[in-house]
Amino acid sequence: MKRGRDTKPHIGIFGRRNVGKSSLINILAGHEVAIVSEIAGTTTDPVKKSIEIPQLGPVILIDTAGIDDTGELGEKRISKTKEAMSQVDLALMLFAHNTFNDDEKELIRDFQKAGLPYVIIHNKSDEEKLDNNLGRVLEERYNAPLLDFSSVIPVNPDDLIRIIRETMPESAYTKRPLVGDLISYGDTVLLITPIDIEAPEGRMILPQVQVIRDVLDNDGVCVVCKEREVDTFIKKMQPKPVLAITDSQVFPKADAAIPKEIPLTSFSIVLARQKGDFENYLKGTPKISELKSGDRVLILESCTHHVSCDDIGRVKIPRWLSNFTGKDLSFDIVSGLGALSRPVTDYAMVIQCGGCMITRKQLLNRLKPALDAGIPVTNYGMAIAWVHGIYHRAIAPFTGKAGDKGEYL
């Protein structure tokens, strides 16, 4: 399956200022993609660079600011650097001139706390080789790959690539199926895709494209139509689809149009199972009915996009939840992967988008603080299904339980 823009494996480059982080990125890319300067602090905020690494394939490199930055602005840059740890699958920690002190030790503690695989690289070996005693201490203490390297005179670049390849967790490449495990050879899947103000001009949204590719990869047949054509088409369609997938915004119409013996779900719920914390979504979604007046709900968008007048996350979901509960609720919407503006404990519930533009690890790390605090979490599609009374039918293809009226077996 073709990956989304940011769903490739992510590699973060960490270390003090001026240890050669940007130079290392240029070595990995095979050409100059990062600015290199002798001036400390050239790299400020974390910067993503999509590249192709020989023998490894497409990856996203995150070039971070130095962990020894100074001043009030420097502290903010360090905070951004540490936030980047939740976005990467593998960390490369650089140090130089055999200077391995508290900054490096704290970085590794942060890696270990986050369960993040890491490689230790002594850079600038053309100026000063790694001290043998220090190397032995680091290998014994951290049990992590250690490489003496020069990004100026790279005499062992193949070793660097090999270590990255061997240390990269399999989870960075392994993807759960979207619907491939639900269909057999030749099965037909019906996709209901509204063309409205939020649909990109001349294109389809990424989840729809991903599902089409997954069906084709698993030798199925896709039939795509707008919601207005479903009633007419479903009567003519032979053989009947083994699964129907709809945009969450037209869930009620799809539920009425699709016969109950045909499993029905949404693109957002399909993504929730593949990439999200599906088990905790199942636990958290019913908590919508327990929301009280004065509760604050956090809505997480994992990408930035043009906001329409009837935006699904910013307008429709808050309206549907308020109408369903009859309560006076407050909503905060946060886009991207940045820090929250208030403590997560201020929220009674967190609602996460499908996450089509980010990795599974990024999404799980985004939800972890809420789950650690005991705050229920759910997903756009599952929340929408709940407030429209079709939740059980919408999750039945994945749980194997009967739908709202028991017709799905």
**The pLDDT value given to residue 26:** 83
Return mean pLDDT, the chain. 86
Alpha carbons within 13 angstroms on the beta-carbon side of residue 233 total 15
Structure tokens at 117: 């695989």
CATH of domain 286-387: 3.40.50.11410
Select from 244, 161, 174, 177 the least CA-distant residue to 217: 177
- Region 64-75: what's the mean pLDDT? 83
CA distance 387 to 313: 14
Question: Are 268 and 313 contacting, i.e. CB atoms less than 8 angstroms apart?
Answer: no
User: What is the third-level CATH fold of 180-270+390-399?
Assistant: Rossmann fold (3.40.50)
CATH superfamily membership of 10-172: P-loop containing nucleotide triphosphate hydrolases (3.40.50.300)
Question: CA geometry: angle at 186 spanning 185 and 190, to 5°?
Answer: 120
Query: In the chain, what are the domain boundaries?
Result: 10-172, 180-270+390-399, 286-387
Residue-wise pLDDT for 346-398, tens only, equals: 999 999 998 887 888 888 889 999 999 999 999 999 999 999 999 999 999 99
Select from 10, 160, 189 the least CA-distant residue to 94: 160
Same fold, 10-172 and 286-387: yes
Q: Which residue has the higher pLDDT, 34 or 248?
A: 248
Read off the amino acid at residue 298: L
Confidence at 196, pLDDT banded by 50, 70, 90: low
Burial of 405 (0-12, 13-18, 19+ CB in 10 A): exposed
Q: Omega into 286 within 30° of 0, i.e. cis?
A: no
The pTM assigned to this predicted structure is 0.71
**The pLDDT value given to residue 198:** 60
